Structure 1
Amino acid sequence: MKKGISLFLLLLFTAAAVEAQTYPFRTYSIENGLSEAVVNTISQDKDGYLWVGTGYGLNRFDGVRFKNYYVEDGLLNNEIQSLYADRDNQLWIGTEGGVNVMREDSIYTIPVLQPLVSSSILSIYNDSRNEFWFTTDGEGVWHWNRNQQLTQYREVHGMGSNRVRDVLEDNNGVIWFATREGLTKLEDGNFRTYTTRHGLPDNRLRDLALTESGELWIASRGGLCRIFEEEISCFTEQDGLINNRIQSISTDENNNVWLGTEEGASYFSAGEFKNYSADEGLANNIIHSTYYDTEGNIWFGTFGGGISLFLGDQFENYTIEDGLPNNVVTSITEDHKGHQWVSTYGGGITQIDGKSLKTINASDGLVDNKVYTLRTDDQNQLLVGTRWGFSIYNYETFNNFDEHELPHRKIRAILPSHDGSDILLGTYGEGIIRYRDKQFDQFTEDDGLANNTVMALERGADGSIWAATYGGVSRLKDNTFTNYTLQDGLPNNGILDVLIADNGELWVTTFGGIARFTGDGFEAITPENGLPDKVCYFIEQDERGIFWIGTNKGVVRFDHRAYQSGTENTDTQIFRLLTTDQGLISNEMNAGASFKDSRGRLWFGSVGGVSVLDPSKEKIGNVAPKVHIENVSVSGERISIKEPVDIGSENRNITIEFIGISFAAPHQMQYRYRLKNSDQGWQETTQSSVRYSALMPGDYTFEVKARNFNGRWSPEAARISFSVQAPFWLQWWFIVLVVFALAGIMLFIYNYYRVKKMIEMERMRVRIASDLHDDVGSALTEIALQSDFLQTMDVPNKMEESLKQIGTQSRRIVSSLDDIVWSIDARNDTIGDLTDRMQDYMNNVLPDRKVYYDFDCDMQRQLDVSLKENLYLIFKEAVNNIAKHSNADRVDVKLCVDSSGFTMGIKDNGTEVSGSRKSGQGLRNMKMRAKRIDGEITFNNKNGFEVIVENCN
Structure 2
Amino acid sequence: MLDYQGRIWITSEQGELVMFDPLTEVFTDILKQLTHLKVPYIGARHYYPDRQNRLWIAFENNGLVCYDMTTRRARWFQHRDDQPHSIGSNHIRSVLQDQQGTIWVGTSDAGLERFDEKMGYFHHYRPNSQTPLALPELAIYGMAQRPSGELLLGTHHYVCQFNPKTGHFQSQRLPSDDKASLEDHHLWGIHFLTNSRGEVYFDQRNSLFRFTDLANIQLVTNFTLKTGFCTSLLIDHSDVLWVGTNGSGVRKYDLRANSFQTARYQRGFQEDVLVQGVHLPANQVRFDQNTDPYKFRYTLDHQGGLWANSGTSTIYHINTATHKEQRVDFPIPFVQTITPMATDAQGRVWLLQWQKEAHYLWYYEPEKRQWIRSEHHFKVEPLTEIIQMVADRQAFWLATKAHGLYRFDRKTGQLRTYVHQPDQPTSLSSNTLYCLSADPADSNRLWIGTFGKGLCAFDKRSGQCRRITEQDGLPNNVIYSALPDQYENLWIGTNKGLCRMNRKTFQTRNYTTEDGLLANEFNRFHYLLLPNGQVTMGGVEGITSFWPAKLRDDSFQPKVELTELYVNNRLVEPNPQSFLKSPIHAIHELTLPYNQNFLTVYFAALQFNLPGKNHYRYKLEGVEDDWVETSQPQAIYTTLAPGRYTLLVNASNTSGIWSPYVRRLTVIITPPFWTTWWAYVLYVLVVAGSLWYGIRLRLNQLQLRQS
| Contact map agreement 1:112 1:148 (CA 8 A) in 2 | no
Alignment pair present for 1:499 and 2:437? yes
**% identical aligned pairs:** 22
Paired position in structure 1 for 2:449? 509
Paired position in structure 1 for 2:38? none
Alignment pair present for 1:637 and 2:571? yes
With over 3 angstroms needed to count, the CA separation of the structure-2 counterparts of 1:125 and 1:484, relative to structure 1, is: farther
With over 3 angstroms needed to count, the CA separation of the structure-2 counterparts of 1:678 and 1:136, relative to structure 1, is: farther
Q: Which of residues 473, 493, 496 is equivalent to 2:405?
A: 473
| Contact map agreement 1:330 1:590 (CA 8 A) in 2 | no
- C-alpha distance in 2, partners of 1:308/1:741? 68
Q: Secondary structure at the match of 2:136?
A: coil
| Contact map agreement 2:536 2:545 (CA 8 A) in 1 | yes
Q: Secondary structure at the match of 1:716?
A: strand
Q: Which of residues 95, 101, 118 is equivalent to 1:167?
A: 95
- Taking the TM superposition and a 5 Å limit, the aligned residue runs for 1:570-581 are 574-581=507-514
With over 3 angstroms needed to count, the CA separation of the structure-2 counterparts of 1:496 and 1:372, relative to structure 1, is: same
- C-alpha distance in 2, partners of 1:108/1:701? 31
| Contact map agreement 2:67 2:74 (CA 8 A) in 1 | yes
With over 3 angstroms needed to count, the CA separation of the structure-2 counterparts of 1:173 and 1:238, relative to structure 1, is: closer
Q: Secondary structure at the match of 1:720?
A: strand
| Contact map agreement 2:476 2:494 (CA 8 A) in 1 | yes
Alignment pair present for 1:723 and 2:668? yes
Kindly state the Cα deviation for residue 119 of structure 1 after the two structures are TM-superposed.
Answer: 5.5
- C-alpha distance in 2, partners of 1:425/1:150? 94
Kindly state the Cα deviation for residue 233 of structure 1 after the two structures are TM-superposed.
Answer: 2.3
| Contact map agreement 1:665 1:709 (CA 8 A) in 2 | yes
Alignment pair present for 1:602 and 2:535? yes
With over 3 angstroms needed to count, the CA separation of the structure-2 counterparts of 1:643 and 1:529, relative to structure 1, is: closer
Q: Which of residues 483, 494, 500 is equivalent to 2:417?
A: 483
Alignment pair present for 1:547 and 2:490? yes
| Contact map agreement 1:259 1:267 (CA 8 A) in 2 | yes
Paired position in structure 2 for 1:94? 11
Q: Which of residues 152, 159, 163 is equivalent to 1:224?
A: 159
- C-alpha distance in 2, partners of 1:368/1:116? 80
Q: Which of residues 136, 139, 154 is equivalent to 1:204?
A: 139
- Taking the TM superposition and a 5 Å limit, the aligned residue runs for 1:676-691 are 676-691=621-636
TM-score by length of 2: 0.73
- C-alpha distance in 1, partners of 2:222/2:3? 33
Kindly state the Cα deviation for residue 224 of structure 1 after the two structures are TM-superposed.
Answer: 1.0
Paired position in structure 1 for 2:262? 318
- C-alpha distance in 2, partners of 1:421/1:447? 19
- C-alpha distance in 2, partners of 1:87/1:714? 27
Kindly state the Cα deviation for residue 221 of structure 1 after the two structures are TM-superposed.
Answer: 0.9
With over 3 angstroms needed to count, the CA separation of the structure-2 counterparts of 1:553 and 1:743, relative to structure 1, is: farther
- C-alpha distance in 2, partners of 1:431/1:299? 64
Kindly state the Cα deviation for residue 223 of structure 1 after the two structures are TM-superposed.
Answer: 0.3
With over 3 angstroms needed to count, the CA separation of the structure-2 counterparts of 1:724 and 1:212, relative to structure 1, is: same
Q: Deviations over 1:827-851 (max 9, x none)?
A: xxxxxxxxxxxxxxxxxxxxxxxxx
Paired position in structure 1 for 2:112? 183
| Contact map agreement 1:627 1:718 (CA 8 A) in 2 | yes
- C-alpha distance in 2, partners of 1:705/1:261? 40
- C-alpha distance in 1, partners of 2:44/2:353? 71
- C-alpha distance in 1, partners of 2:658/2:594? 35
Moved more, 123-132 or 595-604: 123-132
Q: Secondary structure at the match of 2:520?
A: coil
Kindly state the Cα deviation for residue 624 of structure 1 after the two structures are TM-superposed.
Answer: 1.9
Q: Secondary structure at the match of 1:84?
A: coil
- C-alpha distance in 1, partners of 2:203/2:670? 55
With over 3 angstroms needed to count, the CA separation of the structure-2 counterparts of 1:421 and 1:644, relative to structure 1, is: closer
Paired position in structure 1 for 2:149? 214
| Contact map agreement 1:240 1:273 (CA 8 A) in 2 | no
Bigger proportion of residues as helix: 1
With over 3 angstroms needed to count, the CA separation of the structure-2 counterparts of 1:526 and 1:422, relative to structure 1, is: closer
| Contact map agreement 1:332 1:374 (CA 8 A) in 2 | no
Q: Which of residues 68, 74, 98 is equivalent to 1:145?
A: 68
Alignment pair present for 1:383 and 2:309? yes
With over 3 angstroms needed to count, the CA separation of the structure-2 counterparts of 1:107 and 1:357, relative to structure 1, is: farther
Q: Secondary structure at the match of 1:509?
A: strand
| Contact map agreement 1:332 1:603 (CA 8 A) in 2 | no
RMSD of aligned residue pairs (Cα, Å): 5.1
- The amino acid of 1:509's aligned partner reads G
With over 3 angstroms needed to count, the CA separation of the structure-2 counterparts of 1:735 and 1:162, relative to structure 1, is: farther
| Contact map agreement 1:311 1:583 (CA 8 A) in 2 | no
| Contact map agreement 1:94 1:121 (CA 8 A) in 2 | no
- C-alpha distance in 2, partners of 1:124/1:619? 39
- C-alpha distance in 1, partners of 2:612/2:543? 22
Q: Deviations over 1:254-294 (max 9, x none)?
A: 655334333644433345315234499xx969655554443
Q: Secondary structure at the match of 2:30?
A: helix
Paired position in structure 1 for 2:27? 109
- C-alpha distance in 2, partners of 1:431/1:170? 79
Q: Secondary structure at the match of 2:519?
A: coil
- Taking the TM superposition and a 5 Å limit, the aligned residue runs for 1:379-778 are 383-385=309-311, 414-415=340-341, 422-424=351-353, 447=380, 452=384, 455-462=387-394, 464-467=396-399, 469-478=401-410, 480-486=414-420, 487=424, 488-503=426-441, 504=443, 505-510=445-450, 511-518=452-459, 519-520=461-462, 521-531=464-474, 533-562=476-505, 574-634=507-567, 635-639=569-573, 640=580, 641=584, 642-710=587-655, 712-727=657-672, 729-731=674-676
Q: Deviations over 1:486-537 (max 9, x none)?
A: 4444444443222223234422233343333332233334455555554433
Q: Secondary structure at the match of 1:667?
A: helix
- Mind listing any 5+ residue stretches in structure 1 that lack a counterpart? 1-82, 342-350, 564-573, 762-862, 870-953
| Bigger radius of gyration | 1
- C-alpha distance in 2, partners of 1:677/1:185? 62
- C-alpha distance in 2, partners of 1:675/1:131? 48
Q: Deviations over 1:111-135 (max 9, x none)?
A: 3344799857765555333544455
Paired position in structure 2 for 1:836? none
- Mind listing any 5+ residue stretches in structure 2 that lack a counterpart? 36-40, 81-85, 318-324, 364-369, 574-579
| Contact map agreement 1:365 1:398 (CA 8 A) in 2 | no
TM-score by length of 1: 0.56
Kindly state the Cα deviation for residue 225 of structure 1 after the two structures are TM-superposed.
Answer: 0.9
Q: Secondary structure at the match of 2:514?
A: coil
- The amino acid of 1:176's aligned partner reads W
- C-alpha distance in 2, partners of 1:267/1:217? 13
With over 3 angstroms needed to count, the CA separation of the structure-2 counterparts of 1:392 and 1:530, relative to structure 1, is: closer
| Contact map agreement 1:581 1:664 (CA 8 A) in 2 | no
Kindly state the Cα deviation for residue 579 of structure 1 after the two structures are TM-superposed.
Answer: 2.9
With over 3 angstroms needed to count, the CA separation of the structure-2 counterparts of 1:537 and 1:381, relative to structure 1, is: closer
| Contact map agreement 2:242 2:250 (CA 8 A) in 1 | no
With over 3 angstroms needed to count, the CA separation of the structure-2 counterparts of 1:369 and 1:632, relative to structure 1, is: same
- C-alpha distance in 1, partners of 2:676/2:63? 64
Kindly state the Cα deviation for residue 193 of structure 1 after the two structures are TM-superposed.
Answer: 3.9
| Contact map agreement 1:366 1:398 (CA 8 A) in 2 | no
- The amino acid of 2:440's aligned partner reads D
Paired position in structure 2 for 1:192? 123
- The amino acid of 1:92's aligned partner reads W
Kindly state the Cα deviation for residue 713 of structure 1 after the two structures are TM-superposed.
Answer: 3.5
| Contact map agreement 1:330 1:591 (CA 8 A) in 2 | no
- C-alpha distance in 2, partners of 1:148/1:541? 68
| Contact map agreement 1:315 1:613 (CA 8 A) in 2 | yes
Q: Secondary structure at the match of 2:515?
A: coil
Kindly state the Cα deviation for residue 605 of structure 1 after the two structures are TM-superposed.
Answer: 2.5
